[in-house]
Structure 1
Amino acid sequence: MRAAEREFTEYTGGEPLGHVVYSASQIADCVARMGADIAAAYPPDADILMLGLLKGSFVFLGDLVRQIRRPLQVDFLVASSYGKGTTSSGNVELLYDPRAPMAGRHIILVEDIVDSGTTLNQLCGALVDRGPASFEICALLHKRIAPDLEWEPRWVGFDAPNEFLVGYGLDHGEDFRHLPFIACPRT
């Protein structure tokens, strides 16, 4: 059994492994690079608000904001289009709206994965309507399969394979979010 497979079974109580797609060290290197790129993209006095799209982005967002060496604020929004399935339902439900004011601020929407594009297409326009100074998207993973994606991320960590992925915040029925790596499980 390979080291990655042993690590996967340690975290999952023996759950079968498909394969590890991105190791914890690959993710850490990527997040550090993305944080530096984001910090360099704004003037020193920029009022930055990082909006984490929950639940999937929480691990990524936590690591990312620690890599952005400048003042910023964090808030969250909760939207769902998956339920317990492995593909998007196509219907996005906003379950929690951010409390932080957005007008005149530099907003960065932090997303775990761009898959069908449904969530981004339905949320971004509504956020831009709130009058930010700028609006950008940062995604850890981008499958590049959305045929009608209206809002492209400015920062992308990895071009992801077209597989169902779990770990590092990504889940399957709320399981596997705690994995420090990203894997494609056998389902």
Structure 2
Amino acid sequence: MQPIHKDIDHILVSEEQLKAKVTELGARISRDYAGRDLLLVSILKGAVVFMADLMRAVTIPCAIDFMVVSSYGGANTTSTGLVKIVKDLDQDLTGKDVLIVEDILDTGITLSNLVPMLELRNPRSVRLCTILSKPSRRKADITPDYCGFEVPDEFVVGYGLDYDEHYRNLPYVGVLKPEVYQK
């Protein structure tokens, strides 16, 4: 079996850039939430790598939890904006500062529907942290409170992002060769 790196056209964000940015984000979050009841909420599966690194870069006490959500439409190929919670949080959000941790903010449809759903659970605040943002694809009015990198409208994988459940384990963010996903 060939290494998965052969499918990458070029590296968009290097492993070193990711490490530096996560350290920077962790320091900012630690300052902003000092003395508060912080809950980091990872949206699975893509955000798990970023979440693992980010929670170690946060230097204040915090709790973690996980959600699986999907936005679905017709044949599951387009998003209608309806959000289905596949795995809900295990914790009560009352009075907590919730920071949603995402791998990529793309159209924003799912998160623009998820945030109000979480706000109904009486948290102190709900904010968003994403390692990647594609503002050129945004269809919903949502902006991350913490953002690692803005990326162009290219098919990116690695650092938790996948194509057909592959490439999540790459230590960098790379652009997938079109021939891989246009088969």
TM-score above 0.5, yes or no: yes
**Matches of 1:61 and 1:147, distance apart in 2:** 23
Letter in 2 for 1:101: D
Aligned-residue offset at 1:109: 0.4
**1:89 to partner: Cα distance:** 2.1
Aligned counterpart, 1:96 = 87
| SS, match of residue 145 in structure 1 | helix
**Quick one: distance in 1 between partners of 2:16 and 2:168?**
17
> 1:71 is matched with which residue: 56, 61, 80?
61
Q: Which has the higher strand share?
A: 2
* RMSD over aligned Cα atoms: 2.1
What's the % identity of the aligned pairs? 35
State whether structure 2 residue 101 is matched by structure 1 residue 119: no
1:19 to partner: Cα distance: 0.9
TM-score w.r.t. length of structure 2: 0.88
2:32 corresponding residue in structure 1: 41
| Amino acid in the other structure paired with 2:108 | G
User: Aligned residue for 2:41?
Assistant: 51
SS at match of 1:52: strand
The counterpart of 2:50, out of the listed 57, 60, 73, is 60
Shift of 1:23: 0.6
State the number of aligned residues: 174
**C-alpha separation in 2, matches of 1:30 and 1:139:** 11
Letter in 1 for 2:154: E
Q: Secondary structure at the match of 2:121?
A: coil
How far apart, CA to CA, are the structure 1 residues paired with 2:34 and 2:172?
33
Q: Which runs of 5+ in 1 are unaligned?
A: 1-8
Give a deviation string over 1:13-59, Cα, whole Å, max 9, x none.
Answer: x6332111011000000000000000000232x11100001101000
Gaps of 5+ in 2: none
- Give the 3 Å change call, closer, same or farther, for CA 166–88 of structure 1 in structure 2: farther
Q: 2:131 corresponds to which residue?
A: 140
